[in-house]
């Protein structure tokens, strides 16, 4: 039911209304007041939804009543009842705050209802908006957010004082222009911001505009801000205005929650800042220290994460104690800490700080009522003008840190020119190799494996060579280690495998010999899950049966990742591929590995063969290895046989298969084919 108040001095007006309302099944409930005072009382206290007000009351003007009601804060919609042709009056009424007007005696129940319903809806919408605006204003008063308000398309924008203060400006310092905002946005964040902003303006699906980006503070640092907003639209849905808030979330984004140290984001900001400063001021010097904790993983695994966390916090405090306030200590994650050291006043500050840290972190920590010992390896990179980006400095500090660890932990290493040269060498080999893989500079050589008694070929070992355009034929010892540091080795090995498998298939067909091909497999494959299927594909591609392939792996494969490696080896074995241990005897030589993994044989390392010439312990070692192999039914191939003496000694010990310069060197495919033909 809609409660309608009629204020009119004429009784017939009331009767007319009642009559037309009775005509239809109206949902309007009518109350009648006939004079100014009771009318006003009804408007202020009556709890009506809508009012029909005659413009001329007996005692006073209806317009006056309208004005007074509005002045008293009456919000319900008031419709003026006017006479014919009183345009000016209509106008005046609307101006005084009437919601609408109707011409007396000239409306039907339906048109009245329509007007009333429309007015009620509009009032409700207004009310809701007013409510939310009040709530918004309240929320803003109590918050730390900055506010902005923009008329779409204009250069001007309103920024609240707090908005400017977030960026370090006084209210009158930053021009109220939309450009003041855009030009301070970090280049990497610009695109997303414009996308979100324009998307919302255009009326995309998002009901709110929201974006997080970095803004340049007056002091040159970056603040992380969260901006929210909403567009106001006209009837066509065009945005006319957009307003919202700006929240400084730098703290949340820049601190490591566990230790309270700077996190990676803040630290990179500071580093970038240091680079800028150095560009302006040539006397400015700084250093980067990369700190890696020794044995942290061990402690974490054995005592649990809570203890690990406690230790990290304690370490953070000691690190802070080793530096001054101007320096930045950051935790990059896990047990990796870095320090950005201002060196302007103390040229050898970095080494002194590094020494102090090593000493401090070497002392016992009391965690979970235990005394724990850790320690640190530190890599240091000193800034100088040849560094163009923070990334380069970071990389060098990291390289130096690995050197420190390799040199035996608990020490620091300063990145120097020699390390730089080595890093450059690795880089150039790596990019050269990449090119080589594409331009077919990699070639496969074949070294025969023979039956020692008859000298007949049993198969070949495939050995990669790099036919370098300038350096000539490069041996694998010069590039395999580099390739193994990256995923390049995977591509390289697969290339060799495919080439060698196809070559062997051709020779088996041509020479009608049951030859095998041995291919070296880097340990890298065994931390991947795809190796077995890669091998299967290579065999399928070449049309070669699996049993003709021998994969040579070093013992280290079973040490790195025992369970992953086991699964891979088992899969390969299931395919029918034969697995051999390469360089047997020099590595960790765990005998248990020989029978717990599906190996078919082993390659006796060249160093034992070399020792067979004179009287040495080698003879006994080789005898023992051969005995073990026989007991475990493993095949043995001797490697690196160069002399007749070695050949005879091996024969005498019962070794029957071998490979070595004495029989044939590794050779290009064409030469190997000739060699095969000569053996027929």
Site for Mg ion in 638-667 (CB under 5 A): 639
Among 250, 447, 558, 618, binds ligand C2E (CB under 6 A): 447
Say whether residue 448 binds ligand C2E (CB under 6 A): no
Q: How far is the CB of 652 from Mg ion (least distance, A)?
A: 22
# residues contacting Mg ion (CB under 5 A):
5
CA dihedral 561, 563, 569, 573 (to 10 degrees): 170
Q: Tell which residue, 456, 475, 479, 516, has the closest CA to residue 675.
A: 456
Question: In what helix (H) or strand (E) does residue 162 lie, and over which residues does it extend?
Answer: helix 161-166
Say whether residue 49 binds Mg ion (CB under 5 A): no
User: Pattern of binders to Mg ion over 538-557, x per CB under 5 A?
Assistant: --------------x-----
Site string for ligand C2E, 650-669 (x = CB under 6 A): ---------xxx----x---
Q: Which of 43, 361, 480, 636 binds ligand C2E (CB under 6 A)?
A: 480
477 binds, among Mg ion, ligand C2E, none (CB under 5 to 8 A by kind): ligand C2E
| 8 versus 582: smaller Cβ distance to Mg ion | 582
Among 70, 642, 671, 679, binds ligand C2E (CB under 6 A): 642
| SS3 of 328-342 | EEEEEECCEEEEEEE
- Which one, 342 or 555, has the nearer CB to Mg ion? 555
d(CA 109, CA 36): 26
Q: Would you call 54 exposed, middle or buried from its count of C-beta atoms within 10 A (0-12, 13-18, 19+)?
A: buried
464 binds ligand C2E (CB under 6 A): yes
Question: Is 582 an interacting residue with respect to Mg ion (CB under 5 A)?
Answer: yes
# residues near ligand C2E by CB under 6 A: 23
Distance CA 220, CA 217 (A): 5
d(CA 533, CA 521): 14
CB of 334 to Mg ion, least distance (A): 36
Residues contacting 620, CB < 8 A, separation 6+: none
Q: Which of 520, 558, 568, 618 binds ligand C2E (CB under 6 A)?
A: 520
Determine if residue 544 is left, alpha or beta; phi over 0 gives left, psi from -120 to 50 gives alpha, anything else beta: beta
**Shortest distance in whole angstroms from residue 657 CB to ligand C2E:** 13
Whole-number Å distance between alpha carbons of 191 and 154: 21
Nearest approach, Cβ of residue 624 and ligand C2E (Å): 21
Closest CB 479 distance from ligand C2E, rounded Å: 9
Following DSSP, what letter does each residue of 94-153 receive, concatenated? Answer: HHHT-SEEEETT---HHHHHHHHHHHHHHHHHHHHHHHHHHHHHHHHHHS--EEEEEETT
Q: Based on CB atoms, which residue is closest to Mg ion, 256 or 583?
A: 583
Cα(620)–Cα(642) distance, integer angstroms: 20
**DSSP collapsed to 3 states, 427-462:** HHHHHHHHHHHHHCCEEEEEEEEEECCCCCEEEEEE
- One of 145, 256, 555, 582 touching ligand C2E (CB under 6 A): 582
Provide, rounded to whole angstroms, the least separation between the CB of residue 425 and ligand C2E: 18
Binding mask 28-67 for ligand C2E (x = CB under 6 A): ----------------------------------------
Q: Rounded to an integer, what distance in angstroms lies between the CA atom of residue 28 and that of residue 360?
A: 85
CB of 655 to Mg ion, least distance (A): 15
> Which residues of the shown chain bind ligand C2E in the complex (CB under 6 A)?
447, 463-464, 475-477, 480, 493, 496, 520, 522, 552, 582-583, 606, 639-642, 659-661, 666
> Which residues of the shown chain bind Mg ion in the complex (CB under 5 A)?
520, 552, 582-583, 639
């Amino acid at each position: 039911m809609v409660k309608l108040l009629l204020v009119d001095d004429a009784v017939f007006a009331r009767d007319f209304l009642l009559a037309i309302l009775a005509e239809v099944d109206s949902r309007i409930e009518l109350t009648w007041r006939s004079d100014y005072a009771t009318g006003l009382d009804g408007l202020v206290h009556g709890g009506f939804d809508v009012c029909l007000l005659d413009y001329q009351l007996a005692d006073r003007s209806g317009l006056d009543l309208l004005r007074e009601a509005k002045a008293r804060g009456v919000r319900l919609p008031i419709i003026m009842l006017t006479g014919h042709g009183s345009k000016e009056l209509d106008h005046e009424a609307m101006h005084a705050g009437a919601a609408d007007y109707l011409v007396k005696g000239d409306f039907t129940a339906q048109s009245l209802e329509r007007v009333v319903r429309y007015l009620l809806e509009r009032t409700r919408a207004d009310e809701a908006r007013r409510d939310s605006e009040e709530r918004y204003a309240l929320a803003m008063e109590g918050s730390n957010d900055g506010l902005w308000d923009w008329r779409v398309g204009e250069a001007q924008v309103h920024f609240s004082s707090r908005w400017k203060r977030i960026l370090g400006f006084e209210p009158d310092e930053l021009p109220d222009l939309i450009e003041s905002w855009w030009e301070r946005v970090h280049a990497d964040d610009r695109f997303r911001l414009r996308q979100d902003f324009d998307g919302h303006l255009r009326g995309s699906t998002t009901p709110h505009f929201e974006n997080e980006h970095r803004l340049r503070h007056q002091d040159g640092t970056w603040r992380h801000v969260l901006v929210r907003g909403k567009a106001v639209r006209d009837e066509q849905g065009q945005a006319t205005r957009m307003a919202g808030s700006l929240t400084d979330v730098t703290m949340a984004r820049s601190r490591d929650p566990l230790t309270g140290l700077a996190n990676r984001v803040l630290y990179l900001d500071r580093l970038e800042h240091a680079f800028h400063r150095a560009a302006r001021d040539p006397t400015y010097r700084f250093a980067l220290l990369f700190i890696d904790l020794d044995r942290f993983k061990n402690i974490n695994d054995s005592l649990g994460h809570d203890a690990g966390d406690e230790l990290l916090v304690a370490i953070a405090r000691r690190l802070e104690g080793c530096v001054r306030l101007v320096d930045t200590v950051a935790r990059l994650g896990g047990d990796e800490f870095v320090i950005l050291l201002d060196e302007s006043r103390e040229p050898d500050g970095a080494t002194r700080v590094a020494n102090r840290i090593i000493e401090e972190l070497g002392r016992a920590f009391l965690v979970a009522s235990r005394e724990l010992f850790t320690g640190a390896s530190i890599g240091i990179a000193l800034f100088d003008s040849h560094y163009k980006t923070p990334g380069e400095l970071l990389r060098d500090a990291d390289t130096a840190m690995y050197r420190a660890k390799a040199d035996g932990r608990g020490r620091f290493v300063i990145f120097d020119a020699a390390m730089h040269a080595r890093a450059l060498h690795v880089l150039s080999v790596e990019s050269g190799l990449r090119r080589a893989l594409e331009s077919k500079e990699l070639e496969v050589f074949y070294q025969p494996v023979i039956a020692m008694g008859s000298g007949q070929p049993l198969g070949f070992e495939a050995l990669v060579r790099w036919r370098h355009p300038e350096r000539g034929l490069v041996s694998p010892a010069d590039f395999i280690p580099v390739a193994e540091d990256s995923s390049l080795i995977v591509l390289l090995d697969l290339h060799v495998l495919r080439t060698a498998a196809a070559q062997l298939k051709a020779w088996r067909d041509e020479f009608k010999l049951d030859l095998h091909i041995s291919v070296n497999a880097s340990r890298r494959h065994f931390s991947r899950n795809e190796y077995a299927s890669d091998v299967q594909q290579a065999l399928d591609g070449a049309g070669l049966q699996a049993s003709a392939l021998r994969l040579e792996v070093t013992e280290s494969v079973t040490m790195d990742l025992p369970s992953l490696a086991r699964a891979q080896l088992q899969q390969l074995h299931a395919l029918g591929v034969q697995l051999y241990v390469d360089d047997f005897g020099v590595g960790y030589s765990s005998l248990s590995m020989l029978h717990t993994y599906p190996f078919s044989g082993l390659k006796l390392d060249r160093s034992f063969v070399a020792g067979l010439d004179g009287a040495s312990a080698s003879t006994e070692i080789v005898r023992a290895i051969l005995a073990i192999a026989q007991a475990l039914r493993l095949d043995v191939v001797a490697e690196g046989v160069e002399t007749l003496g070695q050949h005879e000694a091996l024969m005498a010990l019962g070794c029957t298969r071998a490979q070595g310069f004495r029989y044939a060197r590794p050779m290009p495919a064409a030469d190997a084919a000739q060699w095969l033909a000569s053996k027929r």
